[in-house]
Amino acid sequence: MDTVRLGRTNLKVSRLALGAMGMGDASWRSWVLDETASRPVVAAALEAGINLFDTCDFYSLGRSEEVLGKLLGGMAGRDEVIIATKVGNPMGRGANNRGYSRKHILDACDASLRRLGTDYIDLYQTHIWDPDTDIEEMVDAFADLVRAGKVRYVGATDMPAWQFAKAIYHARHHGLPGFVSMQNHYNLVWREHERELIPLCRAEGIGLIPYSPMARGFLCDPDRQTLRSGDDEYADLWYGRPEDRAVAARLADVASARGVKPGQVAIAWVAAQPGVAAPVIGANSAEQVADAVAALDLILDDDETALLASVYLPRPTG
């Protein structure tokens, strides 16, 4: 698989990343795979040349990190893989067991290192955003982790563009290690970040590693019922407008004409967007990994791209 630089860094990442939200403990979410079931998924990703693996302390309340760390430790050299994880979501009942205080960031990083079974995290990212965050304290704490050798690079997940800009410029002004990536929600039926966040990232050389390129399966089949769709509150919250279904219908037409699966066209569209380094895919089988990898070979022409874009309706900002 081809690799590209992550933003302006010299770090080379595969053109797809494997997300590990679906690995860990089924008691957290019914569709989560245990270690045994996750093994062939990780093996298929490594065999295909994927080197970027993304997880979070919150997934299965830490068990995802444990499973991913153990599997990668047994299948690949540490220098061959890029391990990304996140901080910010609640990890306990205490007021300081979440968010972006210096206390929680430092404590959470140490806990993630133990669960992953590694001495360092390649890419440490914010997760669910807290708008009340003191940006300077957060950036300073992340910088200290980099200087301590516990983290190689720092990244962010969805946040308002103006706050992300503040974080970027605080780090730059003070000569601190700054954010190098943005893991944002981006697909054919969710393009809201094209207004501000994505242009900011492109202008500042921030690598985009968008999640949900297939809209949590909605773009594969809007009416498909799966274990995940049964207890994924975000899918119903984010997708399902008549305009979203119109996009899915156009996507199905393009896929049918190409003789490929709709989800593959959805991945190909995201991967081709300017600034995108590596869409983050989820998979529960080696076959799904293979399908996603094959999507990188799809090059959509101008007519297909225009057809897919023509029925999208932006959501209100107010």
- Identify the CA nearest to 252 among candidates 222, 289, 216, 295: 222
* Catalytic residue, candidates 59, 124, 186, 211: 59
211 is catalytic: no
**Residues forming the active site:** 59
